Chains A and B, each alone.
Chain A
Amino acid sequence: MNHMKKKLNLLWNPFIRIAGYQALAWGVVGCIVSIWISYLSKYHYHGLLHFGPAPKNTLLCFALEHLVVWLVPAILFLLGGFFFSKSRIRIVDVFGTVLFAQLPLIFMNLISLLPPMQRMNNMDFNLPPMELMNQPGLLLGIWLALVSLVFLVWTLIWMFHALKVSSNLKGYMLGILYCVGVFGGDILCRLLIHPLYSLL
């Protein structure tokens, strides 16, 4: 029972056990896998919280998207931690835990490989509602998109714990910095990623 509880705790917050270079190494492996799956499914990271099709499908484009989505929130967390935490922060803990926190997104990318999701990516959403509803596989695609959402929420929970463990912040300061890192980070990521589609 206790063993089970420990395992569930790790699923909730893995950073009690793993951080630093170990988390970074797993994160890098996960990131490479994620880039490859995204390349196969043509499923882009437009920001930290926005995903979907895009005009450019080069491997470099997918790699840069992943890099931006990792580095932007990590840098925001790091800066916030340096300014507001009383603890000494290790850069490798912040970058490692943030990258590790994005591992559940691999499952989201795998779901995007499934045929109903691929069909949904190519659908014209400007069609009249009735016609749109009659598109084959739309309902299944919506269900799969909802399942993908679970993995995004999982990543967001892990990112919260990544910030908490790596910076030792507590209370409202932790909440504020998390919101700045995730929601502000999403806006920054979108601003940085969008020009890539015309540059690459």
Chain B
Amino acid sequence: MSEFVKKLPLKCPSCDSPLHVKKLHCIHCDTEVNGSFALPLFVRLSEKEQAFILDFVKSSGSLKDMAKNMGISYPTVRNLLDDLIEKLRQIEEV
């Protein structure tokens, strides 16, 4: 049986605003930290987008290598990157 993986919710289910972290908990010593912490930019991306960024870093930023490894054309990879850049800009503006 596959292991159940919880997905980190990024948006408020009620009003669609980005969620903040209110409480952090240490599972070893039971320490709790309270506050209001914004989620890092990277975490706010989908799993697919995060994987894309990791691939980009692993291939030293070479889109040609990425295209080769992913088995897709160069402009398709470049378009994915451009769409991601646009999404990051939008997240930063919010």
- Residue numbers of A with Cβ under 8 A of B are 15-20, 23, 86-88, 90, 93, 97, 165-166, 168
Nearest residue (CB) in A for B71 is A17
- Which B residues are in CB contact (< 8 Å) with A93? 74-75
Inter-subunit contact A168/B71 (CB<8 Å): no
Nearest residue (CB) in B for A18 is B73
Q: Min CB distance, A49 to chain B, in Å?
A: 26
User: Is B72 at the interface (CB under 8 A from chain A)?
Assistant: yes
Interface of B (DSSP majority class):
helix
Inter-subunit contact A19/B73 (CB<8 Å): yes
A-B contact pairs, 28 of them (CB 8 A): A15-B76, A16-B72, A16-B73, A16-B76, A17-B71, A17-B72, A17-B73, A18-B73, A19-B73, A19-B74, A19-B75, A19-B76, A23-B73, A86-B82, A86-B86, A87-B82, A88-B78, A90-B75, A93-B74, A93-B75, A97-B75, A165-B75, A165-B79, A166-B75, A168-B75, A168-B78, A168-B82, A168-B83
A-contact bits for B75-94, CB 8 A (1 contact / 0 none)? 11011001100100000000
B34-56 CB contacts (< 8 Å) to partner A: none
A142–B39 Cα gap in the complex (Å)?
Answer: 64
A177–B75 Cα gap in the complex (Å)?
Answer: 18
A23–B72 Cα gap in the complex (Å)?
Answer: 13
- Which B residues are in CB contact (< 8 Å) with A19? 73-76
Q: Min CB distance, B48 to chain A, in Å?
A: 15
A17–B71 Cα gap in the complex (Å)?
Answer: 7
Q: Min CB distance, A166 to chain B, in Å?
A: 6
A173–B73 Cα gap in the complex (Å)?
Answer: 23
Inter-subunit contact A20/B74 (CB<8 Å): yes
- Which A residues are in CB contact (< 8 Å) with B83? 168
Nearest residue (CB) in B for A22 is B73
Inter-subunit contact B73/A20 (CB<8 Å): yes
Inter-subunit contact B71/A20 (CB<8 Å): no
Having A23-B73, A165-B76, A168-B78, one finds 15 other A-B pairs with CB under 8 Å, namely A16-B72, A16-B73, A16-B76, A17-B71, A19-B73, A19-B74, A20-B73, A86-B82, A86-B86, A87-B79, A88-B78, A90-B74, A165-B73, A166-B75, A168-B79
- Which B residues are in CB contact (< 8 Å) with A15? 73, 75-76
A165–B80 Cα gap in the complex (Å)?
Answer: 10
- Which A residues are in CB contact (< 8 Å) with B79? 87, 165, 168
Most buried by B among A19, A93, A166: A19
- Which B residues are in CB contact (< 8 Å) with A23? 73
